Amino acid sequence: MKQKRIAAMTLFGVALLALAAQPAAAADSTTDDLISSLNQELLYVAVPITLLVEGILIYTVVRFKDNDEAKPTRENRRLEITWTIATAVILLFVGVGAYNVMGSGDVIATEEIQPSENDEVINVTAERYRWTFTYERHNVTLGSSPGPDVSEGPLLIPADEQVYLKIGTKDWLHAFHVPELGLKQDAVPGQQHIIRTEATNPGNTYQGYCAEYCGQGHSQMMFEVEVVSQEEFEERMSEYQSGGNESSGN
Ligand SMILES: [Cu+2]
């Protein structure tokens, strides 16, 4: 029984270590890269702590299982100072790591993220029940379903270029979410949140969703994200322009 339990725990530990040692898959965007790297970093800290705590727990249970008269613990200042400092160091490491990722500008929307004139800006607008993507510089509007001024099309993103997505809504709450690119942002009425990213794998497509339950048609609010080379992006934009697509932007 004892050996069985130790064997099971060892197996669990090895599995965790293997998970931690696995190299991160090639990131699909700068945002995805930041998030995956942080996960990896935190795992390097979490796995040894888990093994240490579980090890002490199992050792204690096995070692003292026949101890009928447990002695009360005594104050041990050195031990208390040690675990206080160790915890503080770990929290500091996690805090600094997380802050660097969150504050980088490529993970969450902050006031400081403002595109300059030459940046690719896409207005991503949610409504019941579709998404529209307006390319300010190209005067093109694509949508997850066609409409009067909207051609049906994916969210087309040029690769290896900073892209700014202005997330907004025409009616009520929705949420823009592309898990594989690491993108998620609420679409809040009366507000516009700007998120920034740089997709790194041209030729790939990704599934996007609405991630905030918004009514009967919520499950239809899906869209495709297509990452293409910068040349192809410009070509496709000209095609959409000449294809009679009239953007509603003035
Ligand atoms: Cu929804």
Tens digits of residue pLDDT in 204-248: 999 999 999 999 999 999 999 999 999 999 999 998 888 754 444
Dist. CA 201 → ligand 1 center (Å) = 27
**What is the tens place of the pLDDT at every residue in 59-72?**
999 998 888 887 88
Separation of CA 209 and ligand 1 centre (Å):
8
CA of 225 to the centre of ligand 1 (A): 17
CA of 111 to the centre of ligand 1 (A): 25
Structure-token match 């390097």, residue found: 44
**pLDDT given at position 20:** 59
**Average pLDDT taken over every residue of the chain:** 87
Question: What pLDDT is recorded for position 57?
Answer: 96
| pLDDT for position 2 | 62
What are the pLDDT digits (tens) for 23-56?
Answer: 556 789 999 999 999 999 999 989 999 999 999 9
- What pLDDT shows up at residue 246? 47
Q: Give percent above pLDDT 90 in the chain.
A: 64
Q: How far apart are CA 52 and CA 45, in angstroms?
A: 11
Helix (H, G, I), strand (E, B) or coil at 143: strand
**Residue 13 confidence (pLDDT):** 66
Q: Is the pLDDT of residue 16 over 90?
A: no
Q: What is the pLDDT of residue 248?
A: 42
Ligand 1 centroid to Cα of residue 67, in Å, is 58
C-alpha 130 to ligand 1 mean position (Å): 9
Q: How far is the CA of 173 from the centre of ligand 1 (A)?
A: 8
Question: Which contacts qualify for 242-248: CB closer than 8 Å, 24 or more apart?
Answer: 243/151, 245/140, 245/141, 245/142, 245/149, 245/150, 245/151, 246/149, 247/134, 247/135, 247/139, 247/140, 247/141, 247/149, 248/134, 248/141, 248/149, 248/150
Which residue type sits at 184?
K
Q: Which of 28, 53, 76, 65 is nearest to 181 (CA)?
A: 28
Cα 202 to ligand 1 centre (Å): 28
What is the band of 116 on the pLDDT scale with cuts at 50, 70, 90?
confident
> What is the dotted CATH code of the domain comprising 120-242?
2.60.40.420
Residue that wins the pLDDT comparison between 105 and 84: 84
Distance (angstroms) between ligand 1 centre and the Cα of 223 equals: 12
Closest CA to 181 of 133, 224, 121, 129: 224
Q: How far is the CA of 212 from the centre of ligand 1 (A)?
A: 5
For the chain, the domains span 2-63+81-102, 120-242
Residue 249 has pLDDT above 60, yes or no: no
Share of the chain above pLDDT 70, in %: 87
Rounded to the nearest whole angstrom, what is the distance from the C-alpha of residue 194 to the centroid of ligand 1?
19
pLDDT for residue 145 is more than 70? yes
Cα-to-centroid distance, 97 and ligand 1 (Å)? 32
Question: Cα(140) to centroid of ligand 1, in Å?
Answer: 24
- Specify which of 12-26, 165-179, 233-247 reaches the highest per-range mean pLDDT: 165-179
Spatial separation of the C-alpha atoms in residues 203 and 232, rounded to whole Å = 10
pLDDT at 216: 93
Q: What's the confidence (pLDDT) of residue 26?
A: 78
